[in-house]
Amino acid sequence: MPIFLIGVSRSALHADESRRTVDHFTNRILPILTDHCLGCHEDSGLAGLDMTSRAGMLKGGESGPALVPGVPEESLLIQAVRHTHPQIKMPLDEPKLDDSEIAALVEWVKTGASWPTVVGPGASREGDEGIAQARRNFWSLEPIRKPSIAQTPSNESPATAIDAFVFAKQIEMGLRMGPTASREEWLRRACMDLIGLPPTRRQLQEFLTDRSDHARKKVVDDLLCSPHYGERWARHWLDVVRYFDVSYKNSPENIFRYRDWVVEALNKDMPFDVFVKAHFAGDLIDSAEHETRAGLGFHWLRPRLREDRVDVVTRGLLGLTGACAECHDHKFDPIPTEDYYGLLGVFTSTEFDEFPLASREVVASYREKSMQLASAKEQVTEFIASQRQSLEMTIAANTGRYLLAAREVMLNGDPDGTSIAARYDVRAEILERWINYLRLDQKDYGFLESWGSLTRRRNVSERQLNQEAINVQRDVVRIVDDKRKLDRQNQQLLTNKNNQTVLKTLATEEALFWQDLFAPPYELHRTGVLYFDDDQIQPLLTKAASRRLDELREEVNRLDARLPDKYPFLHVIKDKRKPKDERVRIRGNQQRLGDSVPRHTLTVLTGGQVKPFAHDRSGRLELAESIVNPENPLTARVIANRVWAWHFGRGLVRTTSDFGLRGERPTHPELLDYLASRLIENDWSLKSLHREIMLSDCYALTANVYSTSNQTKDPQNRYLWRANRQRLTAEALRDTMLFVSGELDTTIGGPPLALDDPTNYRRSLYGIIDRVQSDVVMTLFDFPDPAQSSANRIPTNVPVQRLFLLNSRFVEERAAALARRLESVVGLNRRRQVRLAYGLVYSREPSKEEVRASLEFLASCQSDQPLERFCHALLISNEFLFVN
């Protein structure tokens, strides 16, 4: 007996929904429809069947209704996918669906084919009020509501609100929260989390002896006050905004100021909403309290060849995959394609600019001097070019003599090199080049053919040689002369050159011969054999010309010497004079333009309606405001989740940049809303969030797997019954090795430096990030692609990384430095060395057994660098590489 009838009202559907139904539909049924059906039964609606909605399926197409709710056997959909229908077998031209997929569909139809009031492609279109409204009821789009603290059994008293939520969930899942980590482990974890460096020995000592209730709080507060906090957490942020220093041509040379600004903003605990606004309108909101202009550097992180700011802004700040809407309405989330272009228009209504950090006078003076230098350089180039022209003619006119001289050298040798040249009254440098040329095999054209065969003959008279030499010379002179005439004609054409311009050249053989002799650098890095570049030409000039060249070069040097370094400046943006709306590109194709779209923020944030930004401005400030508006359900959740993920190794929403339908659901939705509310309550202070997280009990759990029952029920530790052991990031690995060896240079800020420079002891944050040629070691340790917004780093453990750890000079040097450090602090006593090494590298005391084993190893090394080897082993061990 069917439970649901065709035509049942929407309110009945509402009444029946539970979160589980929604999840089942969206996680199980909708993907099947999307992957296997909608390709044909969506826009094109093959056979008249539209499968984008329940109504569409009930209506059916040419073959009748696709669905009879409650009766799978009579539903065309089921018959088609089971292949039991005589004609219709779906999906067409594809393998049959899996048994599990068919079973899911059958179950779905059997229980009434409930299509919850959420999602479905096309639902973002206006007109279908019910579905559009319903899509906005998706969990991440519902307003943030601070939940009441979860109830837990009265015999347990969670230390903090966070613990209450976590604990309540564990009880629900039948898990037992585990033991806490040791104090040493907690301290190392806290330090690595907040500043990306291990605790100092003093910090460790103080913490271990501080038995008060405030011990942890003190540590957290101290760490949050450290300037290294900003460095560690800036790097997290830079992953999201795809920061880089160097790319193809024209790298933004001052972009490091954006990076330094992020460090500083975090250190000052700049409210996150101000921080975000700075990225869009840092010039407009700049104040004494919050310096924000440098945040505009974000726009210069855009790849040169690709406009990706809509992607980075929507995924990075809002957790929505807005870039999907570049080609079509988002298939799952309420983002029509117009929204993409509404945002795009904001960005394309701005242009890049520089903001000098120097006085107007300094700037003007620099620009003037810079132009003078450029002009002086141009004079040198032009002078040389004209001299080169004359030289070419001179060489051509002496071809005969060169050929004869060359022949003599090639026949008889010339140990001196210059005496033959002198005798023929030719330049030795030019003669040498002629000789090299004549030694080559000339296959493709005949100007030197008769000369070649003549010179190979034994009995040849001087008269014959001279005659042939003159012949070749005549050819060369003619060719040079003709080329010059053509060049003059071409010059006219080149002044107005365009894609249709056709230039004149010599006939092919002449052209190739000329190229062989005189061409400036051309394909395959060749040049004409008699071409002298700017550095080679001077000795061949007349005295007067040479003097003139010296004068011109001196002028360049003089101007260059007095040109100061370019003034410091910030990379910023400004509005174009005429902000412009973008037109929809149908299927993302720039040649197929649709309607113009007023600049606006995502309609899902403005009640489903387009609310255009002011016409006369790009709209970037308004866009920023829509993002950090406290009523925006996404931004606070997204950043709170990121912070959680960067602490715990995994977010409450695992897909930290996708809070849409295809992303994952939060494991602890109330906790997430709690954190997001708290963030806003605390004026968007990230440090307050760190404090609350790090002072919870669940932050202090052991990372060890102590319970097989828990491990079986929740192997991925989604419910936080223990801590997640995390491998050091690439930066943390390098920084920590330098720290432990005592070599780390903790200077903050400044232009980036090469990471593979062995004298660079700065933190890895300051390493040059090159989009084209990424640093080998950083990439090995999973540094993300700097041309894309990175949601999560995926740490890997592969052999080539271990080669670095085993054999690199870098690690070897750190081990040696650590060994020296041990010796300088505790002398030569092995036991004390071992204890100190454990303290520095692992931040703990070694056990008796560990001491024994270490001493045994040291002794067995005898005199072959025992301490370095011992230190090396510690530095590449798992306990060091992974943070408990």
Partner 1 sequence: MRRREFLEAMGGGFGLLGLTQAGIANQPPPEMLASKRPHFEARAKHVIHLFLLGGPSQVDTFDPKPQLNRFHGKSPPSDAPRSGRKTGKLLGSPFSFKPYGESGLEVSEIFSRVGQCVDDICIIRSMVTEFTVHPPAVYMMNSGTATDDRPAMGSWITYGLGTENQNLPGYIVLCPGTPTMYGGRLWSSSFLPGAFHGTHIPRFGPGVPSDEIIPFLRGKNSATPRQRKDLDFLAQLNAGHRERSGADAQLDASIHAMEAAYRMQLEASDAFDISSEPEKLRSQYGEANFGRGCLIARRLVERGVRCVQVFFDRNELWDSHTDILQHRTLAADADPAIATLITDLKARGLLDETLIVVAGEFGRTPSVEVGFQQPDVQNGRDHNPHGYSVLLAGGGVKGGFSYGATDDLGYAAVENPVHPHDLLATILYLMGLDHERLTYRFSGRNFRLTDVGGHVIHDIIA
Return the residues of window 211-250 that contact partner 1 according to CB under 8 A.
Answer: 248
Based on the shown chain and the rule CB under 8 A, indicate whether residue 493 belongs to the binding site for partner 1.
yes
Residues 174 and 150: their CA atoms lie apart, in Å, by: 16
Based on the shown chain and the rule CB under 8 A, indicate whether residue 782 belongs to the binding site for partner 1.
yes
| Residue 227 exposure: Cα atoms within 13 Å on the Cβ side | 8
Which residues from 630-669 bind partner 1, rule CB under 8 A? 655, 657-658, 660, 662-664
* Total of chain residues touching partner 1, rule CB under 8 A: 96
CB-based burial label for 378 (10 Å; 0-12, 13-18, 19+): exposed
Residues 730 and 775: their CA atoms lie apart, in Å, by: 11
The set of residues, in sequence order, having a beta carbon less than 8 Å from that of 869 and lying 6+ positions away, is: 815, 857, 861
Question: CB 453 → partner 1: shortest distance, Å?
Answer: 22
Q: Could you tell me if 163 and 175 are in contact, meaning their C-beta atoms sit under 8 angstroms apart?
A: no
Based on the shown chain and the rule CB under 8 A, indicate whether residue 796 belongs to the binding site for partner 1.
yes
Q: Could you tell me if 683 and 676 are in contact, meaning their C-beta atoms sit under 8 angstroms apart?
A: no
Based on the shown chain and the rule CB under 8 A, indicate whether residue 466 belongs to the binding site for partner 1.
no
Which residues from 701-760 bind partner 1, rule CB under 8 A? 703-706, 711, 716, 725, 727
Based on the shown chain and the rule CB under 8 A, indicate whether residue 500 belongs to the binding site for partner 1.
yes
Q: Which residues of 107-132 are buried (b: 16+ CB within 10 A; e: fewer)?
A: ebbbbbbbbbbbbbbbbbeeebeebb
The encoded tokens of residue 657 equal 């940049």
Instruction: Please identify, using beta-carbon distances, which residue of 512 and 744 lies nearer to partner 1.
Output: 512
Query: What is the rounded (10 degree) CA torsion for 635, 639, 641, 645?
Result: 160
Based on the shown chain and the rule CB under 8 A, indicate whether residue 393 belongs to the binding site for partner 1.
no
Which residues from 549-588 bind partner 1, rule CB under 8 A? none
In degrees, to the nearest 5, what angle opens at C-alpha 100 toward C-alphas 99 and 101? 90
Based on the shown chain and the rule CB under 8 A, indicate whether residue 23 belongs to the binding site for partner 1.
no
Based on the shown chain and the rule CB under 8 A, indicate whether residue 389 belongs to the binding site for partner 1.
no
> Hey, what amino acid is at 410?
M
Binding mask 27-46 for partner 1 (x = CB under 8 A): x-------------------
Residues 345 and 343: their CA atoms lie apart, in Å, by: 5
Based on the shown chain and the rule CB under 8 A, indicate whether residue 589 belongs to the binding site for partner 1.
no
Span near partner 1 by CB under 8 A; candidates 140-148, 689-697, 741-749, 858-866: 858-866
Question: CB 795 → partner 1: shortest distance, Å?
Answer: 8
Q: Could you tell me if 165 and 148 are in contact, meaning their C-beta atoms sit under 8 angstroms apart?
A: no
The encoded tokens of residue 64 equal 């009748």
Q: Look at residues 742, 760, 746, 703 and name the one whose alpha carbon lies nearest to residue 840.
A: 742
Based on the shown chain and the rule CB under 8 A, indicate whether residue 774 belongs to the binding site for partner 1.
yes
Instruction: Please identify, using beta-carbon distances, which residue of 27 and 379 lies nearer to partner 1.
Output: 27
Q: Which of 268, 746, 804, 826 binds partner 1 (CB under 8 A)?
A: 804
Binding mask 523-542 for partner 1 (x = CB under 8 A): xx------------------
Question: CB 514 → partner 1: shortest distance, Å?
Answer: 7
Question: CB 781 → partner 1: shortest distance, Å?
Answer: 8
Residues 308 and 201: their CA atoms lie apart, in Å, by: 46
Q: Which of 802, 827, 832, 852 binds partner 1 (CB under 8 A)?
A: 802
Which residues from 297-336 bind partner 1, rule CB under 8 A? 303, 305-306, 311, 315, 321, 323-324, 332
Q: Which of 808, 827, 829, 845 binds partner 1 (CB under 8 A)?
A: 808
Q: Look at residues 324, 405, 375, 331 and name the one whose alpha carbon lies nearest to residue 563.
A: 375
Instruction: Please identify, using beta-carbon distances, which residue of 385 and 460 lies nearer to partner 1.
Output: 385
Instruction: Please identify, using beta-carbon distances, which residue of 223 and 317 lies nearer to partner 1.
Output: 317
Based on the shown chain and the rule CB under 8 A, indicate whether residue 776 belongs to the binding site for partner 1.
yes
Question: CB 724 → partner 1: shortest distance, Å?
Answer: 10
Q: Could you tell me if 430 and 517 are in contact, meaning their C-beta atoms sit under 8 angstroms apart?
A: no
Instruction: Please identify, using beta-carbon distances, which residue of 460 and 776 lies nearer to partner 1.
Output: 776
Q: Could you tell me if 691 and 709 are in contact, meaning their C-beta atoms sit under 8 angstroms apart?
A: no
Which residues from 421-440 bind partner 1, rule CB under 8 A? none
Residue 266: helix, strand or coil by DSSP? helix
Binding mask 507-526 for partner 1 (x = CB under 8 A): -x--xx-xx---x--xxx--
Would strands 882-883 and 726-727 be described as parallel, antiparallel, or unpaired? Answer: antiparallel
Question: CB 29 → partner 1: shortest distance, Å?
Answer: 13
Residue 361: helix, strand or coil by DSSP? helix
